[in-house]
């Protein structure tokens, strides 16, 4: 995808429909890169996808193309930004719009110490006025949706009022979509991984946000794994964001288009998904193999495709065999297929 000066036709309309974000795949560093997103698109056409977090520093001072390029078939796709300087965020959001993203999302949920040093991520929840100013600067700069992903509290905050006031303040900048990872972030003493497991989930806080701000789009995130759980959450909020389960068990998403978006087009079976990835992989290797792109760069995202099937382990093992991967032959995918 090359940058263009106009938002691609239809995107403004697409990005403004709540139905679009009914189900989404969470931004995940090192996981939801452009190859992963293409793979997910072969399973579900409508589920809303997010990039990994891209910092404003990477865009203002770094290699913009490396961070922002993506494939046309990834739409609808949102760019997640990490930063806390309104001016840099506005510049980065503008770049995101120019490159054709459907939404700009601000990360106010990441607890990593590296991110805290940059004074962004979850620690921004302690500064709702700054987040409001950041959102305002981005909204003034772009015409696509600007959304915020956040936690329900930081450190020992227990009170619901904290997240209610955060949302209320940020909404003053015109933000109407909030993605609520329904647990606290512990800023000191827990690793990012522990921060996704140890603080208790309080889904009720997200439900209350929807009750208190019925005019806003509230999406819930955290620990959601099954369709039954998704259905239960959708009784209370507008959308559900899946992170680890979507990554480790991606074929779960095969029913989403028909069930949540009313698209009854035939669904690819797992082998068809795998075969559909082969021309993409071959093209990417031909284009970027010389620049260091390896077969494994793409296939590593596909290890969970056979999850739950007899032969899933063998599939993962074949696709993790460094010697065979080194040969760079996409045909390895067919060899890995469970018999
Ligand atoms: C490997 C990994 C990387 C992550 N990177 C980000 C990130 O860049 N930005 C972000 O907002 N959240 C990030 N998260 C958090 C997820 O977006 C999500 O909020 C969290 O995993 C909880 O959802 P889940 O229980 O469905 O996985 C990451 C999670 C994982 C597992």
Instruction: Give the mean model confidence (pLDDT) for residues 235-240.
Output: 98
CB 74 within 8 A of CB 38: yes
Is ligand 1 within 6 A of the CB of residue 109?
yes
162-191 pLDDT, tens digit each? 999 999 999 999 999 999 999 999 998 899
23-79 pLDDT, tens digit each? 999 999 999 999 999 999 999 999 999 999 999 999 999 999 999 999 999 999 999
CATH class of 270-336: mainly alpha
- Is the pLDDT score of 4 beyond 50? no
Predicted local confidence at residue 303, as pLDDT = 98
Predicted local confidence at residue 8, as pLDDT = 35
Whole-number Å distance, alpha carbon 28 to ligand 1 midpoint, is 5
Cite the active site residues. 110
**Nearest Cα residue to 49 out of 250, 222, 274, 280:** 250
Q: What is the DSSP letter of 7?
A: P
Residue 51's Cβ-count burial label (10 Å; 0-12, 13-18, 19+) is buried
Average pLDDT value for the chain:
93
Residue 66's Cβ-count burial label (10 Å; 0-12, 13-18, 19+) is exposed
Predicted local confidence at residue 332, as pLDDT = 97
Share of the chain above pLDDT 70, in %: 95
- Is the pLDDT score of 114 beyond 90? no
> From CA 202, how far away is CA 184, in angstroms rounded?
9
The ranges assigned to domains in the chain are 23-261, 270-336
Whole-number Å distance, alpha carbon 45 to ligand 1 midpoint, is 21
28 annotated ligand binder:
yes
Question: Which pTM was predicted?
Answer: 0.94
Probe residue for ligand 1, chosen from 23, 25, 26, 202 as the CB with the greatest number of ligand atoms within 8 Å? 26
> From CA 3, how far away is CA 7, in angstroms rounded?
10
144-158 pLDDT, tens digit each? 999 999 999 999 999
Probe residue for ligand 1, chosen from 21, 23, 24, 28 as the CB with the greatest number of ligand atoms within 8 Å? 28
270-327 pLDDT, tens digit each? 999 999 999 999 999 999 988 889 999 999 999 999 999 999 999 999 999 999 999 9
Is ligand 1 within 6 A of the CB of residue 86?
no
Of all protein residues, the one whose alpha carbon is nearest to atom 19 of ligand 1 is 181
- Superfamily of structural domain 23-261: Aldolase class I (3.20.20.70)
Predicted local confidence at residue 6, as pLDDT = 34
Of all protein residues, the one whose alpha carbon is nearest to atom 26 of ligand 1 is 243
């Amino acid at each position: 995808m090359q940058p263009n000066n106009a938002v691609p036709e239809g995107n403004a309309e697409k990005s403004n429909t709540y139905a679009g974000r009914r189900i989404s795949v969470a931004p995940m560093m090192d996981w939801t890169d452009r190859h992963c997103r293409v793979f997910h698109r072969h399973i579900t056409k409508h589920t809303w996808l997010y990039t990994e977090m891209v910092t404003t520093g990477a865009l203002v001072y770094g290699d913009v193309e490396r961070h922002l390029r993506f494939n046309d078939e990834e739409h609808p796709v949102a760019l997640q930004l990490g930063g806390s300087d309104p001016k840099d965020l506005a510049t980065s959001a503008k770049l995101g719009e120019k490159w054709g993203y459907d939404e700009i999302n601000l990360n106010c949920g990441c607890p990593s110490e590296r991110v805290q040093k940059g004074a962004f991520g979850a620690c921004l929840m302690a500064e709702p006025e700054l987040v409001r100013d950041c959102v305002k600067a981005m909204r003034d700069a772009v015409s696509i949706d600007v959304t915020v992903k956040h936690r329900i509290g930081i450190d020992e905050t227990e009170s619901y009022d904290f997240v209610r006031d955060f949302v209320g303040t940020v909404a003053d900048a015109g933000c109407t979509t909030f993605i609520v990872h329904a647990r606290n972030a512990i800023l000191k003493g827990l690793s990012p991984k522990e921060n996704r497991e140890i603080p208790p989930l309080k889904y009720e806080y997200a439900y209350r946000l929807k009750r208190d701000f019925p005019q806003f789009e509230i999406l819930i995130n955290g620990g959601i794994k099954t369709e039954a759980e998704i259905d239960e959450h959708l009784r209370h909020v507008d959308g559900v964001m899946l992170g680890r389960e979507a990554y480790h068990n991606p074929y779960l998403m095969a029913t989403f288009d028909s069930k949540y978006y009313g698209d009854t087009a035939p669904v690819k079976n797992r082998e068809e998904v795998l075969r559909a990835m082969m021309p993409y992989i071959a093209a990417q290797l031909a284009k970027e193999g010389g620049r260091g792109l390896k077969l494994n760069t793409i296939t590593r995202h596909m290890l969970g495709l056979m999850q739950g099937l007899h032969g899933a382990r063998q599939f993962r093992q074949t696709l993790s065999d460094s010697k065979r991967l080194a040969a760079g032959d996409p045909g390895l995918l067919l060899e890995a297929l469970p018999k």
